[in-house]
Chain A
Amino acid sequence: MEPLVTFAELFPNGIWRYAVGGALIGLGTAAIYLGTAIPAGASTFLESTLSYVSNVPRFNRAKYVASRDWRVAFTLSIVAGAAIYAVAFGDFGWTTRVSWWRLLGGGFLVGVGTRIGKGCTSGHGICGVGSVAPTSLVNVATFLGVAIVTAQIVQALGVSP
């Protein structure tokens, strides 16, 4: 009897790079957490960095100003870490074909949503889910469901990529 769906259909690119890459994302988070007790997310960088150029009190709250320098260092290190991967694996110079308006508009909504919703894929998705935090589980279930519906609608409308 044939299985309804095969492994190769679900995972056409295999799973090792996903599983190992994810474990390294978790390991970077774990190292920072065990040394500092800080659950490092990637999106607070947006708000804390705005404190350098904006006088809006919301961006200049003590917790942002106190953490903005290491958040810049963290973010630049993420860029550098990915660059090391790309050079080591011969993957450097790859560019996306996703349309400019999807990147710009989607990025804008991600910027709004992550700040209103108190976290992103790393803050809620990795640290929050790792903490088995109910708020994060609800947030992740919400954005995952909405993202699936959005991507399927965009695809159905014939936008590709």
Chain B
Amino acid sequence: MSEPVERDRHPLFMPLIVAGGLIFGFGLGLSHMARPEVVLDFLQFEDFGLLFVLGTGSVVAGTAFAIGVNLLDRAPLTGRAYARRLKSFDRNVLTGGVIFGVGWGLSGICPGAAYASLGIGNYPILLAIGGMFLGAYAQGLWRTYRSDNDAATAAKAD
């Protein structure tokens, strides 16, 4: 079994990931986003506090992105160049957004908050996490099937 291993991974890489995850999870707990009820209260216009979570979160992260892109050269632990998080736009962005929205509105749970919810001892959230894995697996199978079919159709057309 050979697995691609990142060469020369910096010894502080994993510790930083762990430290970042701890702060991230602490924030999700403190903000109460780890409680589906709080998200549902927001979506039902009963408590607009979640706007502050998304607001301060993206402003703090955005400041780091601006500093990295404009003032720094390469990341010390990976040697990677700093770049903004940019994804190409296509119909999938809208389709995925709609499906995600129905799921979020139904359950009040998103991936990061679900992991944090487990941390506060909310074991019923395992149903949501299990559902997410099933969903991610189903879309992977479906897209593999679809691209195989597209390839077969294209081959026939030749």
Contact = CB atoms under 8 A, between A and B. Distances in A.
A130 to B, nearest CB: 3
Contacts of A32: 16-17, 20
A150 B49 contact: no
Contact of B89 (A20, A35, A94, A134): A134
Contacts of B81: 37
Contact of A24 (B27, B36, B144): B27
B128 A107 contact: yes
Contact of A82 (B12, B25, B40, B84): B25
Interface residues of B, number: 121
Q: Is the interface of B mostly helix, strand, loop or mixed?
A: helix
A126 B113 CA distance: 13
Contacts of A3: none
Interface string A18-48: 1111111111111111111111101101110
Given A74-B17, A130-B62, A62 B57 contact: no
B109 A21 contact: no
Given A19-B52, A78-B25, A84-B26, A120 B131 contact: no
A30 B4 contact: no
A138 B96 CA distance: 11
Interface string B1-31: 0011010000011101111111111111111
Given A30-B63, A98-B36, A120-B112, A35 B131 contact: no
Contacts of A158: none
A115 B47 CA distance: 29
B96 A117 contact: yes
Give the 4 A-B residue pairs with the shortest CB-CB distance, closest first: A117-B96, A111-B135, A106-B107, A21-B31
Interface of B: 3-4, 6, 12-14, 16-37, 40, 43-65, 67-68, 72, 74-78, 80-89, 92-125, 127-141, 143-144
8 contacts: A29-B57, A34-B72, A46-B133, A50-B140, A83-B119, A96-B36, A107-B109, A108-B135
Given A81-B28, A81-B116, A151-B44, 15 more contacts: A13-B32, A24-B26, A25-B24, A28-B24, A31-B19, A32-B16, A42-B115, A77-B19, A82-B34, A82-B116, A112-B99, A114-B100, A130-B85, A134-B89, A136-B87
